[in-house]
Amino acid sequence: MTKPLLAEFIGTFWLVLGGCGSAVLAAGVADVGIGWLGVSLAFGLTVLTMAYAVGGISGGHFNPAVSLGLMIAGKFEGAKLIPYCVAQVAGAIAAAAVLYVIATGQAGLEGVGGFASNGYGEASPGGYSLTAGFIIEVVMTAFFLIIILGATSKLAPEGFAPIAIGLGLTLIHLVSIPVTNTSVNPARSTGVALFADGPALAQLWMFWVAPLIGAAIGAVIWKVLESDDG
């Protein structure tokens, strides 16, 4: 399993460096910043590019919730779940560490702030509650799994799955950045929370629980859609 685990590490590293890096380094630059639209696109592009680059080696999960959902849907071996999750979290932490070194190299910087971390309440970009954050993370992750399972099924055209998945993640971010800064990925949330100022670590539990529940729901819905008698 060495090569698949390395592929998951690299893919998750790129997702966090590219997605969270766009938020930390490029989103708020005066006049030329990419804003939430650019950050949304960046997250989608990281998954799209890595799905094509290393997806053939590991399946291109880059997300513990995706691995869990695929296992529940019968598309992934249960024995591989924990090793995959460990590789994904390790890749996210490594990327966040690299991003932290880069971000703190800016002259006059006083702390890294939220550091693209996820949050609710005072840590939500739009001031949304725990309930609102929990619901949107569950729903968005469920639909992300439906997109992944549908795009990679025999019912879909071959070779286009990474595009659908990447654009699906972009859409998810366009909707949910104002609510939670968008997780749908416990590894992504964990990596940056370790370096962020504020309540990111205290609120991290929600960005494991909600995406995992959402992934399970999405997998069950897809199994019903895919079944012969469904």
CATH number at residue 123: 1.20.1080.10
What pLDDT score does 155 carry?
86
Return the percentage of the chain with pLDDT > 70, whole number.
99
With a cut of 70, say whether residue 228 has pLDDT above it.
Answer: no
The residue type of 21 is: G
CB-based contacts of 33, cutoff 8 Å, min separation 6: 26, 27
CB-based contacts of 176, cutoff 8 Å, min separation 6: 136, 137, 140, 182, 184
With a cut of 60, say whether residue 72 has pLDDT above it.
Answer: yes
With a cut of 80, say whether residue 174 has pLDDT above it.
Answer: yes
What pLDDT score does 85 carry?
98
Mean pLDDT of 147-167: 95
What pLDDT score does 227 carry?
79
Q: What is the DSSP letter of 154?
A: T
Task: Tell me the pLDDT tens digit for each residue of 80-91.
Answer: 999 999 999 999
Q: How many domains does the chain have?
A: 1
* Integer Cα distance of 83 and 88 in angstroms: 9
What is the residue range of 98's domain? 2-226
Q: How many CB atoms lie within 10 A of CB 144?
A: 26
Instruction: Give the chain's largest Cα–Cα span.
Output: 63
pLDDT range class, residue 26, cuts 50, 70, 90: very high
* Integer Cα distance of 208 and 219 in angstroms: 17
Q: How many CB atoms lie within 10 A of CB 133?
A: 25
pLDDT range class, residue 60, cuts 50, 70, 90: very high
